[in-house]
A and B are shown apart, each in its own frame.
Chain A
Amino acid sequence: MKRFVNVLKLFFLVAGSACMLHACTAPKAYQKIYLNDAEMELAPKKIEKFEMNSQGYREGASGANGGKTGGGCGCN
């Protein structure tokens, strides 16, 4: 539980820092050629869908990846 609380603290520290980052540099729309690349998307690729599904069955942990978080199948 202590470990979980420490990870939670670190998570909110990163989240807080990220929230403040917008004040530093804010790329304009025309500067986003790299960010707009399909490979830069902040989500799993569609082709990873079945891998994530099998990992949901074969592993005890799931979620926090924008996909399913439990239910809807006989997985863990």
Chain B
Amino acid sequence: MVAKQEADAAVTDQRIKKIMRKLSLAVIGMYVGILSAFAQSPADSSLYKNKKLKVSEINFVTGYYHQDGNRSPVTGGIGTEKLSDIATTLEIKLNKYDGRNRKREISFELGVDHYTSASSDNIDPHTISSASYADTRIYPTLSYGIINEQKGTAINFIGSYSSEFDYQSVGAGIGFTKTSKDKNRDFSVKLQAYLDNLKVILPVELRTGTQGRGDQNYSTAGRNSYSTSFTFSQVINTKLQLALLADMVYQSGYLSTPFHRIYFADGSETNEKLPSSRLKIPLGLRLNYFLGDKFIFRTYYRYYHGDWGLNANTFNIEVPVKITPFISISPFYRFYSQNGVKYFAPYKGHSAAEEFYTTDDDLSKFNSNFEGAGIRIVPPGGLFGSKNFNSLELRYGHYNRNDGLHSDIITLALKFK
């Protein structure tokens, strides 16, 4: 009797074990099924690369700038510096992936500036409103980049053109970037050259013969700029990163502004004369820190050294505050200080015996302060019901120089994705 009971118990145990085994297999099967179902979509999306050229981003930036002061070099270091400028740029970025999964990026930007300048009007003050009173500058830029995300390399080619009444410029550049495997560090180098051509527009009283009588009669001069830029950026921790920037710029050719008047101490008059070459070496440091969840500290320092004797320090801080995850307000402050170039003297401060002379206060010794604030709105579903309308930014700044020059600038930036 006992033996029969033991045999029944053994059979029951075996049945339970079988059921448990089947259940376990079913559970494991379901788990694997669910896992594979979830694993399927990211694997597919990560492999998918768009092979067709598509618009990735459109940026529209427009701004209004107004300045006033009383030390215009057009009138020898005295006189109005009133100037207004409306500037607009439209940038369209397109990209696609090629057969080797490299990203090809094309960017086209068109900029238009229109300014009115009371001081430029004084090049020829006898006219009621001369051609120099207002001008429009048009500047298209085209860049083409090949980005290899697997290797962490990028190469970029840039071509640019700028044209206004008295100034034309053709620019070309090439850039190379190498990013580390963990994407915490990158190094980039950029070479650029600008070949400029300017009309030598003299103050009206210094013109001779038929010079300046009609657009065709101005002589022209060349100004070339060559620059090398190095950028090294490093992530320090999850909230702090820095970038080191170093440029070396060499300019040669006609570096003076021909319509800047010089009144010598003896009362005689000529126009500005500066050396035909210039070397500029700016070194910069950017340090960005995210404090808590709401505050970002964007800081920038630059030291500048130039062979015309100009040394300058720039310090900038901006603190974007995230009011919500999609809206931030960014107060900013910038301090700038420079000593003057060795060729500067104020109105009637130069002697005719000097080799070089300028009364351009932009090259004199001064300090400036620039402060203001911006607002940035980036709603997750897009702006005004359009999911492509990615962000809107508005920014205002007031600039004040201790030599009396002051200006205001307001800028609007819209991004579409």
B305 at the A/B interface (Cβ < 8 Å)?
A: yes
B247 with A37: CB separation less than 8 A = no
- Residues from chain B with Cβ under 8 Å of A59 in the complex: 312, 336, 338, 362, 368
B65 with A71: CB separation less than 8 A = no
- A-facing residues in B60-115 (Cβ within 8 Å): 61, 63, 65, 67, 85, 87, 89, 91
B162-192 vs A: 1/0 string, CB under 8 Å?
1000110101000000001011110000001
B304 with A63: CB separation less than 8 A = yes
B167 with A32: CB separation less than 8 A = no
Contact partner, B234, options A7, A8, A18, A74, Cβ 8 Å: A18
Bound Cα distance A25, B180 (Å): 14
B249 with A73: CB separation less than 8 A = no
Q: Is the interface of B mostly helix, strand, loop or mixed?
A: strand
- Residues from chain B with Cβ under 8 Å of A18 in the complex: 232, 234, 236, 242, 244
- A-facing residues in B210-263 (Cβ within 8 Å): 223-225, 227, 229, 231-239, 241-247, 249, 251, 257
B282 with A61: CB separation less than 8 A = yes
B244 with A14: CB separation less than 8 A = yes
Bound Cα distance A62, B162 (Å): 19
- Residues from chain A with Cβ under 8 Å of B184 in the complex: 22, 26-27
A34-67 vs B: 1/0 string, CB under 8 Å?
1101111111011111110111011111111110
B348 at the A/B interface (Cβ < 8 Å)?
A: no
**Identity of the chain B residue whose Cβ is nearest the Cβ of A69 in the assembled complex:** B227
CB distance from B39 to the nearest CB of A (A): 17
A32 with B238: CB separation less than 8 A = yes
B416 at the A/B interface (Cβ < 8 Å)?
A: no
Known: A3-B311, A39-B298, A63-B227. A50 touches B63 (CB 8 A): yes
B139 with A72: CB separation less than 8 A = yes
CB distance from B294 to the nearest CB of A (A): 11
Q: Which of B15-23, B25-33, B284-292 contacts A (4 or more CB under 8 A)?
A: B284-292
B59 at the A/B interface (Cβ < 8 Å)?
A: yes
A76 with B362: CB separation less than 8 A = yes
How many residues of chain B are within 8 Å of chain A by beta carbon? 99
CB distance from B251 to the nearest CB of A (A): 6
**Identity of the chain B residue whose Cβ is nearest the Cβ of A67 in the assembled complex:** B229
B298 with A69: CB separation less than 8 A = no
- A-facing residues in B326-341 (Cβ within 8 Å): 328, 330, 336, 338, 340-341
A60 with B306: CB separation less than 8 A = yes
Which positions in A face B, CB cutoff 8 Å? 3-4, 7-8, 11, 14-15, 18-19, 21-22, 24-29, 31-32, 34-35, 37-43, 45-51, 53-55, 57-66, 69-74, 76
Q: Which of B2-10, B121-129, B404-412 contacts A (4 or more CB under 8 A)?
A: B404-412
B384-399 vs A: 1/0 string, CB under 8 Å?
0000000001010101
CB distance from B327 to the nearest CB of A (A): 12
A71 with B224: CB separation less than 8 A = yes
Max count, chain B CB within 10 A of own CB: residue among A24, A45, A50, A55: A50
Known: A22-B234, A27-B238. 6 other contacts (CB 8 A): A19-B232, A61-B310, A64-B283, A69-B227, A71-B196, A71-B224
A53 with B87: CB separation less than 8 A = yes
- Residues from chain A with Cβ under 8 Å of B238 in the complex: 25, 27, 31-32, 34-35
B224 with A25: CB separation less than 8 A = no
B231 with A63: CB separation less than 8 A = no
**Identity of the chain B residue whose Cβ is nearest the Cβ of A4 in the assembled complex:** B305
- Could you show 10 A-B contacts with beta carbons less than 8 Å apart? A7-B283, A25-B237, A42-B288, A47-B395, A54-B67, A54-B399, A66-B229, A70-B225, A73-B167, A74-B198
A11 with B290: CB separation less than 8 A = no
- Residues from chain A with Cβ under 8 Å of B320 in the complex: 39
- Residues from chain B with Cβ under 8 Å of A34 in the complex: 238-239, 290
B280 with A63: CB separation less than 8 A = yes
Bound Cα distance A30, B227 (Å): 37
Bound Cα distance A23, B378 (Å): 35
Known: A11-B244, A47-B411, A71-B194. A60 touches B63 (CB 8 A): no
